[in-house]
Amino acid sequence: MDSRQIRIALTGNPNSGKTTIFNHLTGTRQKVGNWPGVTVEKKEGDIEKFGCQLKIVDLPGTYSLTPFSIEEIVARDYILEDRPDVVIDIIDASNLERSLYLANQLRELDCKVIFALNMADLARSRGYKIDGEKLSELLGVPVVFTVGNKKEGLDELLKTAVEYAESGTGIPESRKVRYSKDIEKAISEVREELESRIGPDFPYNRRWTAVKLLEDDTIIKQRLEKLLGTDSAQVLEKAQQLRDKLADLFHEEPEIVMTDERYGFIAGILKEVVTTSSRRRVDISRNIDLVLTNRFLGFPIFIFFIWAMFQITFTVGAYPMAWLDAGISALSSGVDALLPPGVFESFLLEGVIAGVGSVIIFLPNIVLLFFCIALFEDTGYMARAAFLMDRIMHLIGLHGKSFIPMLMGFGCNVPAIMATRALESRKDRILTVLITPFMSCSARLPVYIVLAGTFFAAYAGTVIFLLYLSGVVVAIVTGRLFRVILLKGEDAPFVMELPPYRLPMLKSLLIHMWDRSKMFLKKMGGVILVGSIIIWVLSAYPKAIDYSVDYGARMDQVHAEYAEKIASAPAAEARKLEEERTARIADLRRAKRIEHAEKSYLGRIGRFVSPVFEPIGMDWRGSVAILTGFVAKEVVVSTMGVLYAAEGDAESDALHRALRNSGMTSLAALSMMVFVLLYLPCLATVAVINRETGTRWMILSVVYTTAIAWLAAFFIYQGGRLLMA
Ligand code: GDP
Ligand code: MG
């Protein structure tokens, strides 16, 4: 039999089971290549079935047909230009709401569509009951249930496809999305204008073309110009006028309003065809969302949650921190008692224990921070946060989705930058990568805790919160700048999924928390240990130093002086004298240490770079600390541990005291915190930026962040001095 060829295209969301079904349908008779001009894989298969030649094409997986990504453009163009006889939309039945968006866009396109409700098994096990007949009736589309990985329903699917392709039935217009009155009116007006200028062989559905013109679809506009030549000008102008009118009316781009209305339509369909045993949870979620994503309340509540997160991190964390602190000083006294004085003891005490110890005591804070982030993720609040930030993110031409990597940046910038891969457009990705380092990661927290704890004791939590907030503000402001100068372009509207709220499972919270804390511990053992040792070596050498005073002789003098006094004093006074002597000896030791550090290699480096940091209030020790922070920002603290901790132990108390005695002002501390917040991302982050965006953007990021950091710290320090003077 000489049968005609039927061309069948498979569309669907990513992970809906398209490829699985395609493989089962075509078996080994596949051709794999690329779509012309782009690096998107194209798979085709030719089979014979029901006496027909079937050509099956696996289109790229997409969530919509709005041409924002290459995949969407490829999929839409195939349907639009190659006109397959029938399109099978593979729908993940366990995720119907999301899948129906694409499904409805296909229907608007005026091609023959069949719905394969795949993952029927999953939908069932999740407690969804879908009325396929009703769905088919409501939308005027044949519906077949399938379980792709078990080959269930595939024969029926193919049969339905062939029958539908052969039949003469089209799609009843009435079954398509109806928009609200004003939009429908605009659609008709554009359509009239269009129809007055086109011939009968106009290749696209007219209503659909009108809709796309109202949505300002650049590709369709270009096609129209090609098809109509100069005649297209009036149509485009008309569409633009109506767009402006609608935008005025809704205070929103028409395409956004239309997207909303499509979702409204989908919500209506879902109400009709889905019954679910988890409906209740969804209702509860809706009610919670009424408050948490409320226009007015949502944002203050969000800020409150973040503020509470830092409060908890700081106050609850203080207890285990004290225990760790005590443990570390016990360890150092133990080592002190066990080992004979010498280079090795000094290496262990001042290099390893002081360096690593001064950072490791922040483990509780960091663990708590990660716990809170895991709580946001697991309860479903994270998605709401992104939703709330959507408006603000639009200020910089990004959408809420970009805020998720940014929020993750609070934990660690490295996974955050990798998370930008979820963004569709390359420009959005680069922009998000560039601003993410301003999100204050957990490595910066130890620096704040030390400095804010020392200089802003009672308000430490609030100061830290404000620092985080400033990071966000700088991110937003610079994002705007980059968007205007370097990365011009439209932002893509998107579908923000708001999963139902869940009570988090303790176990999964702990796993999330631990997974990330592990990275911190690994860094401890690796980079920070090595960094501390290098810093110790640089600060301990050269051994022979020209001291400005002979400390040995001075100490002998003090000893001799007090020995005499104590011998002749009455018992009651002797004790006081004894204490005095100890204090004076300690002072001399400290002075010696400081002079030693100052004249060490590290001190020389510090003095060499300090002219750069002087205007922002750093002495040479602060300069060195900042310099070493490039390795990893926690190292700033371990460097301070080595340089400031007068008695060479890691006790944060000792560091607090030493910092207070060092002559550092609270203004300088603030300037330093701001600098650490903003200046160049750590080595690991720089490496990821390089990998994800390329060397040019990486260099820009390094130079730019450091420049901003210096300027901000300069204005704070100098401005503050002017104010106080
Ligand atoms: P694609 O991204 O749309 O091409 O999706 P794939 O064909 O790669 O399928 C994604 C995953 O879903 C694979 O692990 C499949 O084995 C699985 N899968 C496909 N169909 C079904 C189904 O009906 N039920 C279940 N439970 N899993 C399925
Ligand atoms: Mg696939």
Greater confidence, 225 or 380? 225
Mutate to test the pocket of ligand 1, among 40, 43, 149 (most ligand atoms within 8 A of CB): 149
- Could you tell me which residue, 685 or 470, shows the higher pLDDT? 470
Ligand 2 is a single-atom ion; what residues have CB below 5 A from it?
A: 19
Does residue 165 share a domain with residue 302? no
Q: Do 336 and 440 fall within a single domain?
A: yes
Ligand 2 centre to CA of 11 (Å) is: 10
In the predicted structure, residue 188 carries a pLDDT above the cut 80: yes
Q: Is the pLDDT of residue 650 over 50?
A: no
CB neighbourhood size of 560 (10 A): 10
> Residues 6 or more apart from 215 whose CB is under 8 A from it?
66, 254, 255, 258
Question: Taking residues 256-275, what's their average pLDDT?
Answer: 83
Q: Are residues 298 and 246 in the same domain?
A: no
Residues in contact with ligand 1 (CB, 6 Å cut-off): 12, 14-20, 61, 118-119, 121-122, 147-149
Cα-to-centroid distance, 424 and ligand 1 (Å): 22
Asked, for residue 146, whether it belongs to a domain, the answer is: yes
Q: Are residues 104 and 239 in the same domain?
A: no
Tell me, in angstroms, the distance from the centre of ligand 2 to residue 94's CA.
Answer: 18
Residue 219: inside a domain: yes
Q: In CATH, what number is assigned to the domain containing residue 167? A: 3.40.50.300
- Whether 154 is covered by a domain: the verdict is yes
More confident residue, 608 or 176: 608
Give the residue from 463, 485, 507 where a domain finishes: 485
**What would the mean pLDDT of 390-394 be, rounded to a whole number?**
78
- If asked whether residues 169 and 203 sit together in one domain, one would say no
**Closest listed ligand to the CA of 13:** 1
**Host H or E run for residue 258:** helix 254-273
Helix (H, G, I), strand (E, B) or coil at 282: helix
Kindly report whether the global pTM for this prediction surpasses the value 0.85: no
- 384 with 452, same domain? yes
474: pLDDT strictly greater than 90: yes
For residues 428-446, average pLDDT? 88
| Helix 363-379 × helix 381-395 angle, to 10° | 90
End of a domain among 485, 519, 546?
485
Asked which of 124, 140, 175 is the last residue of a domain, the reply is: 175
**Whole-Å CA distances, 25 to 8, 47, 171:** 11, 8, 26
Predicted confidence (pLDDT) per residue in 60-87, tens digit = 888 888 877 888 888 999 998 888 999 9
Ligand 1 atom nearest residue 18's Cα: 3
Bridge partners of 56? 8, 45
39 and 107 inside one domain: yes
- 22 CA closest ligand 1 atom index: 7
Whether 88 and 112 have beta carbons less than 8 Å apart is answered as no
- Verify that 118 and 153 share a domain, yes or no: yes
The stretch 331-353 carries a mean pLDDT of 83
Q: For 104-159, give the DSSP string.
A: HHHHHTT--EEEEEE-HHHHHHTTEEE-HHHHHHHHT--EEE-BGGGTBTHHHHHH
pLDDT tens digits, 109-166: 878 899 999 998 888 877 788 999 988 888 888 999 999 888 899 999 999 999 888 8
Q: State the pLDDT at residue 1.
A: 43
Whole-angstrom distance, CA of residue 437 vs CA of residue 701: 9
Burial class (CB in 10 A: 0-12, 13-18, 19+), 664: buried
In a domain, residue 477? The reply is yes
Q: Tens digit of pLDDT for each residue in 675-690? A: 999 998 777 788 778 8
The reply to whether 255 falls in a domain is yes
CATH of the domain at 193: 1.10.287.1770
Has residue 531 been placed in a domain? no
Number of domains, the chain: 3
Q: What is the mean pLDDT of the chain?
A: 83
The bound ligand whose nearest atom lies closest to the alpha carbon of 18 is 1
| Nearest of 394, 400, 369, 360 to residue 382 by alpha carbon | 400
Q: Examine the domain organization and report whether 319 and 210 are in the same domain.
A: no
Relative to the alpha carbon of 11, which ligand is closest? Answer: 1
Separation CA 21–CA 30 (nearest Å) = 13
Give residue 25 CA to ligand 1 midpoint distance, Å.
14
- Asked if residue 718 belongs to a domain, the reply is no
Rg (CA), the chain: 34
* Reported confidence tier of residue 2, pLDDT bands at 50, 70, 90: very low
Which tens digit of pLDDT belongs to each residue from 241-251? 999 988 888 87
d(CA 284, CA 268) in angstroms, rounded, equals: 19
CA–centroid distance, residue 12 to ligand 2 (Å): 9
Domain that holds residue 28: 5-175
pLDDT at 671 over 90: yes
Residue 661 lies in a domain: no
Q: Give dist(CA 59, CA 63) in Å, integer.
A: 12
Q: Are residues 369 and 422 in the same domain?
A: yes
| CA–CA dist 672, 667 (Å, integer) | 9
Q: Are residues 201 and 343 in the same domain?
A: no
Q: Please tell me whether residues 161 and 211 are part of one structural domain.
A: no
Q: What percent of the chain has pLDDT over 90?
A: 19
